[in-house]
Chain A
Amino acid sequence: MFKYLATIWETVTTLLTGMGVTWRHMLAIRRDNVTLQYPEERWPRPERNIGFDHDKYNVIRSRLHVDIDDCIGCLKCERVCPVNCIKIDTVKVLNRGADIPNIRHKGITSFGTKKALVVTRFDIDMTECCYCNLCVYPCPEECIYMTGGPNAEKHDIDYEFSEYDRNDLIYRFAKKVSDEDVANATTEPQEVAD
């Protein structure tokens, strides 16, 4: 009989403590709330309750971006990508480091290395990308990076890049230049051998 009453007593006390917890949370509505009202409040909201702020970011996983003028076509990012979502085609340049104005090719990168290749095609298929950030590390010119975060001065965070058509998610970073322009810019002029 005693055990019967003991279980009733234990039931009532534990249930009431549980109700006490929910009651306290009901009263303190805003205190522990972590939900982000998306369209109005956009991430990252600096003071979002664990108090880290925007410019302390180490890295951001958002959309990939390439400064094509700095790209020397070393194919390191293409090789390291686990899902091979980067495709690069390059053509050898006549003399290293020289600008070729008519195909808008800059010879020297911002790091000062002379370019030996013209990058004719640099496509990243963002539908395949697994955001693993492996391509950013080996790039000697640091020209491929995810927008926002430490390179915020170049780009602010952009994680709303959904498209209606899947092919629009294939980003083509190379300069839009017709093939034969590139061809005659990079091949030896046969008759004039100056």
Chain B
Amino acid sequence: MGVVQGDQMVLNIGPQHPSTHGVLRLKVVTDGEIVSDITPIIGYLHRCFEKHCENSTYEQVIPYTDRCDYIASMNNNFGYVVAMEELMEIKVPERVEYIRVIMAELNRIASHLLALGTYGLDVGAFTPFLYMFRDRERILDIFELTCGARLLYNYMWIGGVSHDLPVGFVETVYNFLDYFEPKVQEYNDILTYNKIFVERTADVGVLLPEVAISFGVSGPNLRGSGVKWDIRKDEPYSIYERFDFDVPVGQGLVGTTGDCWDRFYVRVLEIIESTKVLRQALKDIPATGDVHQALPKKIRPPKGSIYRRTESPRGDLGYYIISDGSPQPYRVKMRSPAFTALSVLNEISRGWMLSDVIAVLGSLDIVLGEIDR
């Protein structure tokens, strides 16, 4: 593609740009339309998450984990809380486990809806974005019903959950699932199989499995390249091993495996899988059980360190927590999946056109809050 060597032009897809999913600056060296090199410049949204953790107690860190990946903050809480409970060897009651899985899966659907919607916007289709936000609005209502907040919940605490489920919660989620499942087919009609969309995304930004693994890419981006790796299945935490759902993997139905379309379609399939998990969780959630029962009075984990990964909608969300016995964490490191996804952008969008760079960036589904921490 870029064989003609015209005079290079450096283009700043600057921190203030409609399709950078946050405050990200891409220094793009283009030769006419064809892109020859991209250097992402990050750090505009750096809020010293790790420094804050060292100055606050263990339960005060939870509102900060919300604000890292603000689109999937339930899963962020879940990751941190699972790591802490493994460090402090706290056994959480059954009902709390089920509540957490329900909340995490609902949040996964909401996060994927946002990812698919904004990807439609990057490629130029306005309407799917609004359909998906209409359905995401329903999930946010459910969260609001339980923990009052719509985006940053601070719902999962170490050893329990902040509030028990309200009356009529299970029916409300059943209503939502019955309403939502036919809608996924509607998204497929309007966007997934749309020839122009396929034309824009098939064979674009192909990510080979070896490259993906070497760049530490994880989650839907890695599964889009055909690697079957999902922490809920391979390193099960909480009660995920009780649910049977399969891990969708990109097969290259439209172009080669690992292109933008595959990453998009893997997310659509994952939404369907999440509804399956939700139905099973809702079926056998124990009706009784106090959610505050296992909340430790004084959180003083034993000296030591732990690295625990969980499956956030964007990939492997890892927490490396080092405790020195005091109520304040000695060091908390958050391994952010979007950080690794962005590092692979340059690798896979070299030689493509400018509008493809936007398409590839959208398909990687990055969130800058999590990258900059």
Q: How far is the CB of B3 from chain A (nearest CB, A)?
A: 27
Contact B148 A134 (CB under 8 A): no
Residue B276 interfacial (CB < 8 Å)? no
Closest to A44 in B: B144
Kindly supply a per-residue 1/0 record for chain B positions 127-166, scoring 1 wherever the CB is within 8 Å of any chain A CB and 0 otherwise: 1000100100110011001111100101000000011111
A20: which B residues are within 8 A, CB to CB?
189
Kindly supply a per-residue 1/0 record for chain A positions 8-36, scoring 1 wherever the CB is within 8 Å of any chain B CB and 0 otherwise: 00110011011011100100000011100
Residue B56 interfacial (CB < 8 Å)? yes
Distance in angstroms between the alpha carbons of A18 and B166 in the assembled complex: 39
B66: which A residues are within 8 A, CB to CB?
132
Contact A132 B194 (CB under 8 A): no
Contact B148 A14 (CB under 8 A): no
Q: Which residue from B148, B152, B165, B195 sits with its C-beta under 8 Å from A60?
A: B148
A132: which B residues are within 8 A, CB to CB?
62-63, 66, 152, 154
A7: which B residues are within 8 A, CB to CB?
195
Contact B194 A58 (CB under 8 A): no
Kindly supply a per-residue 1/0 record for chain B positions 49-60, scoring 1 wherever the CB is within 8 Å of any chain A CB and 0 otherwise: 000000011011
Contact A14 B194 (CB under 8 A): yes
Q: Which residue from B149, B166, B175, B194 sits with its C-beta under 8 Å from A56?
A: B166
A80: which B residues are within 8 A, CB to CB?
57, 59-60
B138: which A residues are within 8 A, CB to CB?
34, 49-50
Distance in angstroms between the alpha carbons of A14 and B142 in the assembled complex: 34
Residue B172 interfacial (CB < 8 Å)? yes
Q: How large is the interface on B (under 10, 10 to 19, 20 to 34, 35 or more residues)?
A: 35 or more
B194: which A residues are within 8 A, CB to CB?
14-15, 18
Contact B168 A52 (CB under 8 A): yes
Q: Which residue from B137, B147, B190 sits with its C-beta under 8 Å from A22?
A: B190
Given A34-B134, A50-B172, A56-B166, A130:B149 Cβ within 8 A: no
Contact A57 B166 (CB under 8 A): yes
A22: which B residues are within 8 A, CB to CB?
127, 190
Given A58-B147, A146-B148, A18:B190 Cβ within 8 A: yes
Contact A58 B172 (CB under 8 A): no
Give B contacts to A, CB under 8 Å.
Answer: 56-57, 59-64, 66, 127, 131, 134, 137-138, 141-142, 145-149, 152, 154, 162-168, 172, 175-176, 186, 189-191, 193-196, 198
Contacts A15-B196, A22-B190, A34-B134 known; list 12 others, CB within 8 Å: A14-B194, A14-B198, A18-B189, A25-B131, A34-B137, A52-B141, A56-B168, A58-B148, A59-B148, A132-B62, A132-B152, A134-B63
Give A contacts to B, CB under 8 Å.
Answer: 7, 10-11, 14-15, 17-18, 20-22, 25, 32-34, 48-52, 56-61, 80-82, 130-134, 137, 146, 149
Question: Can you list 26 contacts pairing A with B, beta carbon distance less than 8 Å?
Answer: A7-B195, A11-B195, A17-B190, A18-B190, A21-B189, A22-B127, A34-B134, A50-B172, A50-B175, A52-B141, A52-B166, A52-B172, A56-B167, A58-B146, A58-B164, A59-B162, A61-B148, A82-B60, A130-B63, A131-B149, A132-B62, A132-B63, A132-B66, A132-B154, A134-B60, A149-B148
